[in-house]
Amino acid sequence: MNTVVTYSKKGTIGLITVNNPPVNALSQAVRAGLQSGVEQGLADKGVEAMVILCEGRTFMAGADIREFGKPPLPPALPDVVYFMEDSPKPMIAAIHGTALGGGLEVALGCHFRIAVPTAKVGLPEVKLGLLPGAGGTQRLPRIAGVKAALDMIVSGDPIPAKKAKELGIIDEIVEGDLKAAALAFAKRVVAEKRPIRKVREMVAAVDNPTQFEDYSKDIAKKRRGFIAPFKCIEAVRASVDLPFSEGMTREREIFTELREGSQSKAQRHVFFAEREVVKIPGLPENTPIRDIKTVGVLGAGTMGGGIAMAFANAGIPVRLLDVKQEFIDRGLGVIQKNYANTVAKGRLKQEVMDQRMSLIKPTLSYDDLKDGDLVIEAVFEEMGVKKEVFGKLDTVCKPGAILASNTSYLNIDEIATATKRPQDVVGMHFFSPANVMRLLENVRGAKTADDVKATVMMIGKKIGKVPVMVGVCDGFVGNRMLAQRSRECYFMLEEGALPTQIDKVIYDFGFPMGPYAMSDMAGLDVGWRNRKAKFDRLTKREQENKILDKICEMGRYGQKTGAGFYKYDEKRNAMPDPVIEELIIRHSEEVGIKRRQISDQEIIERAIYVMINEGSKILEEGIAARPLDIDVVWIYGYGFPVYLGGPMFYADTIGLKKVYDAILKYSDMVGAQYWKPSPLLEKLAKEGKGFYS
C-alpha cells in the first residue's frame, strides 16, 4: 500500500480508504493503491466483502490534473476498474461529495453503490473536450439506460444522489455516518448472499431505432462547433452495437483521438487558464484582503441593477443609489422581473428571491453610502460625469472604502484624480447582463494599492465571476481588441462585403453571433455615441466611414426600434434589409471605393488576426500580464469559442508565421497605420515560437 490509499479490516469487511487531498484525484498512486487494496482483500480469507470510501470532503472527483499532458503511468484506470469488477468478493462504493469522471467510473466498477443524500455523480470529461476513458461510456448506458447516459455524458453535468438512485446508478441512499452505513450495507450483502452484479454484463438497449441520430440533431445548435459531444454519442452507441470488450476498445480509440486533437487541448488550456488568471503576477499570495461586508452601487439602470443582483446573489447587502425615484422604481422593477422569471422557470425558489430582493436597499442620498466597504459606479460613460461622482464619493465614503468604476474604456487614473485617495480607486468592468456574464475585467490604476487589487479579485470570485486584472488603456483588453475588429469589419462593408456575410462568417467561426447582429441587440446608439466621443481621434478613412451614422440618423437603433442593420419582426427575428444593403453600396460609391468580392477567408483574417496583433501589443505594453489573461477576457466576455482556446491560444494553434504573413499582406492592402505587426508577434513568428511556447 501507499500513503494515499490504505487497507484495513473491520470484522469480515475490508476497507480501502483513499486520502489524496483536496479532491481525492485519481493519481498514479491512488490507482496503484486501489489495485493493491483489492489484492489484499482477495488474499485475506477472512474478508467477505470490500468497501471503497474516501476521506475529506468528497469521493474521487476525477483525474489528477497534474498528470494532464504527461505520459500515462501504470496501472491504467480502465484496468483497475476491470480488476475490481472481476472480484469474486462483493465490492461496494460509499459515495459522499462528488463522484466525478474517473471517480464515477471506479464506482461503476464496483458491484454496489451507496451514497449520502447530498452526494452528486457525473462524467464531466466533455467539458475538457474529452469523453470518459475508463468505461464510463460503456457501463453507464448499461446501468442507467441510453437516454440518461447520453444526457449525463454529453452535458457533463452531475446529477444528485436521488436522481442517481432513480436511474439505478445508486443502490441505496444512507443517512448518518457513511462508514458505518457502508459496513452495515456490506454485511447485508453478504448475509443475504446477494449475487455479484457486473455492470459490464448488463445490456444497453435503445428506446427507438433512431435514438442516436435524433439526439445528435437535438444538440446540434446548442453544441455547435464542438467535436466532443458528438464523439460521446458515438461512444455510447458502441455500448449498444458492440460487445463490451469491443466497445471499450472503441471508447479508448475515440478518447485518444480527442485527447490529441486541437479542441481538447484548447479546452484544457481554458480550464487551467481560468484557475491561473486569479493569481496576479508579482503580487504576493499573502497580500491582505479588505473586508467587504456591504456594497454601494450608483446607477439603477441595466448595468447597475445587474451588478446589484450579482452581489445580492452572493448574500452581500447592497445600497442602490440613483438621482430620481422614478429611476430607482424602474430599476427595482427590472430586478424583480428578472428574479421572477427565474422563479417561474423553476431555477429559483420564491423564498430565495424574496431574501435576495431584501438585500437590495434603494436610496437617493449619497450619505447612505458612507458605510460601504466597496462602492461601484455604473453611471453614464462620460469622463466629466465619472469625475463628478468620484468627487462626491471621496467626501462621503469612509477611509479604506474601495471606490470602483464600471467604465468600459475610460482612463481609471484620470478618474482617480477626482479623489484624494487614488490608492483606493480601481476599475471593475462588468459585462452586460452583469448578473449573468461571468467576466469581470478589473483595472489597476497607477496608484491602486496592492490590497485593493487582491480584494477585487477575491470579491470577483465570491460573486461567481472570472476576474482578470488588466492595466489602463483605451478600452482595456477586451474593448481595445474589439475596436480593431469593428474597424476592419466596417472597412470590409465599404469594400464589398455585406452585414449578412460578415455575420455568418463570424458565427460559423464559433462566436454566438456576428458583429452586426450583436450591435443591433446591444443598441446601435451605444456604439454611435462612442464613435462621436472619439471622432477627433479617428483616422480620415474612419471618419468618412459613416455607415453607422447614416443608419442611426434614420432612427434605426437595432432590435429595440425594430430595425438596425437588420429589420425585426414582433418576435425580434432578424431579416436582411435591402434598404441597408443599398445604403452600404451607395456609401462605397460616395467615398470612391470600388466594391469587390470579399472571401470568407479574408473576413476571418481581417476580423481575427487584427485582434491577435492588438493582443500582442497589449502584452508588450504590460496591459495584460500573460496571454492567458487575454484569452480568458475574450472567452468569458465576448464569446470567443472555448474549443479554440481564446485568440492568443488560437494564434499558436494556426501558427504565428501565418498570422504575421497575413498582417504584412493587409498592411499593403489596407494600410500600415492599421496593420503594423506587433514587434513581439514579429519576433516570435520569425523564431518559430508562439505566445505559449
Alpha-carbon span 232 to 528, nearest angstrom: 45
Chain segment 183-203, per-residue pLDDT in tens: 999 999 999 999 999 999 999
Task: State the pLDDT at residue 1.
Answer: 53
Label the pairing between strands 466-470 and 159-160. unpaired
Average pLDDT over every residue of 585-598: 97
Average pLDDT over every residue of 298-320: 97
User: 187: exposed, middle or buried (C-beta count within 10 Å: 0-12, 13-18, 19+)?
Assistant: middle
Element containing residue 265 per DSSP (H, E) = helix 262-276
Residue 279: closest CA among 127, 435, 406, 466: 466
Task: State the pLDDT at residue 213.
Answer: 97
Strands, E assignment, 81-204:
91-95, 98-100, 112-115, 120-122, 159-160, 172-173
Alpha-carbon span 86 to 80, nearest angstrom: 10
- Per-residue confidence band for 3, with pLDDT thresholds at 50, 70 and 90: confident
* Cα-Cα-Cα-Cα dihedral sign, residues 72, 73, 79, 85: negative
Chain segment 623-671, per-residue pLDDT in tens: 999 999 999 999 999 999 999 999 999 999 999 999 999 999 999 999 9
User: 627: exposed, middle or buried (C-beta count within 10 Å: 0-12, 13-18, 19+)?
Assistant: buried
Judge whether residue 260 has pLDDT over 90. yes
Task: State the pLDDT at residue 2.
Answer: 67
Domains and CATH numbers, the chain: 5-260 (3.90.226.10), 295-470 (3.40.50.720), 497-590 (1.10.1040.50)
Chain segment 205-216, per-residue pLDDT in tens: 999 999 999 999
Residue 114: closest CA among 160, 169, 62, 194: 169
Chain segment 94-116, per-residue pLDDT in tens: 999 999 999 999 999 999 999 99
Chain segment 400-430, per-residue pLDDT in tens: 999 999 999 999 999 999 999 999 999 999 9
- Per-residue confidence band for 301, with pLDDT thresholds at 50, 70 and 90: very high
Long-range contacts of 298-301 (CB under 8 A, 24+ apart): 298/322, 298/369, 298/375, 298/376, 298/377, 298/378, 298/379, 298/389, 298/393, 299/377, 299/378, 299/379, 300/327, 300/328, 300/330, 300/331, 300/332, 300/362, 301/327, 301/331, 301/378
Alpha-carbon span 387 to 598, nearest angstrom: 45
Residue 182: closest CA among 107, 245, 128, 126: 107
Q: Mean of the per-residue pLDDT values for the chain?
A: 96
Judge whether residue 533 has pLDDT over 90. no
| Active site members | 105, 125
Judge whether residue 65 has pLDDT over 90. no
Judge whether residue 221 has pLDDT over 80. yes
